[in-house]
């Protein structure tokens, strides 16, 4: 179409976007958290089986290709291991195949790490940041509610995920509209959570879901008090998932094992394997301080603040006209 060259985002929204970025920076300035910039292009990538990376020509002749980052997590953790202290980054990240009303394959991510914070401390800071931002947009500050992943299934689906079989989970998925092939336990839990549980959260309250199953730990520590769960949480508001946080894994051997397991899954399921970030593993060998970190999608946050129906309404250009 001849009008695709135009931005679909009004000037007023672009001004509000710039204001949001300034308020984020102001918050971290007052909390003595240092802003940094880390590489967008890397010779290693993210093995996460739920995320696909864009690739490019090699930037280091020791490697066959490079990766556009899916988050700044790995270099930020290397900085933590170097002794930088509390740190944050605001920057572009890229995830292949993600385009919907709440996704764009290029988007802006806020990620930060706090030394000597456990996941509960970080939840409190997330609430504080979000309330400051909402107030600056003339909105009403919100209370928060915390519920474990296990409790959410008991409350909203009357299902004990520690007892239910994979077959029964698949039957529940089918009862709620799923019609594809047999799902694994984690896949079925994800489907039920996204379609039946998340939709029941009070939209006016920050809902923090904690203690995801250990099989969904990603790079979070395993809960020492219940090894079937992890110290990972997500925050939901106005029907949207805004952020994903961890009390961070610091064991380099465990980290490497998780990367290897991811690539084994990828190979078994005909997905591209990903070059493991040996620099990150070496950094953790050197030692990473106890910390917690979180990534929040800035575009989705602005979408919620401005009550827009799609993320593309708060971007000057999107994947279809970029």
What span, in angstroms and rounded, lies between the C-alpha atoms of 167 and 118?
A: 36
98 — pLDDT class (breaks 50, 70, 90) = confident
Strand, helix or coil at 197? helix
pLDDT tens profile 178-192: 999 999 999 999 999
pLDDT tens profile 139-198: 899 999 999 999 999 999 999 999 999 999 999 999 999 999 999 999 999 999 999 999
Length of the chain: 322
* Summary mean pLDDT of the chain: 96
> What pTM was estimated for this model as a whole?
0.96
Are the beta carbons of 213 and 189 closer than 8 angstroms? yes
Are the beta carbons of 122 and 116 closer than 8 angstroms? no
Nearest to 93 by CA among 71, 121, 65: 71
Torsion of CA 278, 53, 235, 92, to 10 degrees: 90
Encoding tokens for residue 6?
């135009």
Are the beta carbons of 241 and 214 closer than 8 angstroms? no
- The mean pLDDT of 214-230, rounded to a whole number, is 97
Domains of the chain: 2-143+205-314 (3.30.930.10)
pLDDT tens profile 102-115: 999 999 999 999 99
14 — pLDDT class (breaks 50, 70, 90) = very high
pLDDT for 1 equals 55
pLDDT tens profile 271-281: 999 999 999 99
- The mean pLDDT of 17-25, rounded to a whole number, is 98
């Amino acid at each position: 179409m001849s009008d695709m060259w135009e931005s679909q985002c009004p000037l007023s929204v672009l001004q509000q976007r710039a204001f949001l970025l300034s308020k984020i920076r102001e918050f971290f300035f007052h909390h003595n958290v240092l802003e940094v910039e880390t590489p967008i292009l890397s010779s290693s990538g993210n093995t996460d089986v739920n995320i696909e990376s864009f690739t490019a020509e090699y930037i280091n002749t020791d490697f066959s290709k490079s990766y556009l980052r899916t988050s700044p997590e790995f270099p930020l953790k290397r900085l933590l291991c170097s002794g930088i202290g509390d740190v944050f980054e605001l920057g572009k990240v890229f995830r292949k195949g993600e385009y919907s009303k709440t996704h764009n394959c290029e988007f802006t991510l806020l990620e930060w790490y706090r030394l000597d914070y456990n996941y509960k401390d970080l939840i409190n800071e997330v609430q504080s940041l979000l309330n400051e931002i909402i107030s600056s947009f003339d909105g009403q500050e919100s209370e928060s509610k915390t519920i474990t992943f296990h409790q959410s299934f008991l409350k909203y689906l009357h299902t004990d995920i520690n007892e239910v079989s994979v077959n029964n989970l698949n039957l529940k998925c089918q009862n709620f509209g799923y019609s594809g092939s047999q799902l694994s336990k984690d896949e079925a839990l994800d489907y039920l959570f996204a379609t039946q549980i998340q939709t029941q959260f009070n939209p006016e309250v920050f809902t923090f879901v904690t203690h995801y199953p250990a099989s969904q730990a990603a790079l979070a520590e395993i809960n020492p008090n219940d090894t079937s769960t992890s110290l990972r949480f997500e925050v939901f508001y106005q029907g949207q998932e805004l952020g994903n946080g961890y009390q961070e894994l610091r064991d380099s051997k465990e980290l490497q094992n998780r990367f290897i397991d991811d690539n084994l899954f990828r190979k078994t399921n005909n997905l591209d394997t990903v070059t493991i970030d040996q620099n990150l593993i070496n950094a953790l060998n050197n030692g990473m301080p106890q910390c917690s970190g979180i990534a929040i999608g800035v575009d989705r946050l602005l979408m919620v603040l401005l009550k827009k129906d799609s993320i593309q309404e708060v971007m000057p250009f999107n994947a279809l006209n970029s």
